[in-house]
Amino acid sequence: MKVALAQIDPGLGDPDRNLALHLDAIRRARGKGADLIVFPELSLTGYMLQDLVPEMAEDPGTSRRLRAIASAAKGRGVVVGFVERAPGAVFHNAAGCFVDGALAHVHRKVYLPTYGMFDEGRYFAAGETFRTYEAPWGRTGILVCEDFWHTSASYLLALQGMEVLVVISASPVKGLDASRDLKSRRPWIDIARAVSRQMACWVVYVNRAGHEEGWSFQGGSFVCDPSGDLVAEGKLLEKDLVLASMPEAPLRKARLATPILRDEKIDLVRREMDRIALERGAGRPAPARGAGEKG
């Protein structure tokens, strides 16, 4: 199994130009033997859409552009970021996976950042589910950017048998450290290493590059294996197309060595979550365990 990280630089509000970028990257990735090609968040439209959201919206079942991307990747899989049009003038920041030309799965971004420089909650409706799906490369889950910062998202997917986690992102640059590395990239790697090791899964992270409305996007896409090691990395700040192999052996080895998910107490987690939800709904926090209390 080979995955291609298509670290493109989409143009804001220019889906036809962006379609050409997708088709070119798919052609090159196919030539390198890729089985799965992954594009960044909102790769078909650009990120800072704001009032352009309704104009950019697509129906994944009928969209001419999405059909062209799926057709170009026929025989392979492709994950693309787009604005999904839902009934009732509702729009989602979505990721669609097409397998062998057919739509296999759509994930709608659940956690919409609306703070600092981000304003997604004003223009998008939040998704409400985390689901896995079966693909030729294994049981897969998809998250969009901010979703990945919420540990519960990866955990819920892992409980459904996830073997490959695909994360697509439009993460901007937020400064350099003394080593000339990007400070804003380090947390993504830290989270991916923790998730891949804890959940015993592959993590495929694809971020965009380029500039938009005064923002610079950091690129730096990567793949983490189930032991938490980086096995492939894209260039910082630049467009790139990176291939990584994802053999079955590391996944099998990780799950045999540390069977955390096998031993997970799901009923206990459900009971405790129900209790916490009730207590939070009543306006009081879950009581902290005293120093002398036993677990």
pLDDT in tens, 32-68: 999 999 999 999 999 999 999 999 999 998 999 999 9
Instruction: From 190, 241, 182, 194, select the one nearest 37 (Cα to Cα).
Output: 241
- 23 pLDDT tier (thresholds 50, 70, 90): very high
Q: What are phi and psi of 274, to 5 degrees?
A: -60, -45
* Cβ neighbour number for residue 276 with a 10 Å cutoff: 12
Secondary structure of residue 71 in the 3-state scheme: helix
pLDDT at 151 over 80: yes
Q: How far is CA 252 from CA 201, 202, 233, 249, 264, in A?
A: 10, 11, 23, 5, 18
Token pair recorded at residue 195: 């998730």
Report whether 279 contacts 286 (CB < 8 A).
Answer: yes
- The correct answer on CATH 3.30.365.10 for the domain covering 2-251 is no
Residues 6+ apart with CB under 8 A from 217: 9, 47, 170, 171, 172, 173, 207, 208, 209, 210, 211, 237
| Residue ranges of domains in the chain | 2-251
Please state, rounded to an integer, the average pLDDT across all residues of the chain.
92
At residue 281's C-alpha, the angle toward residues 276 and 287, to 5°, is 40
pTM of the full structure: 0.92
Residue in the block written with tokens 């590395």 = 181
pLDDT at 175 over 70: no
pLDDT at 263 over 70: yes
Encode pLDDT of 73-121 as tens digits. Answer: 999 999 999 999 999 889 999 999 999 999 999 999 999 999 888 899 9
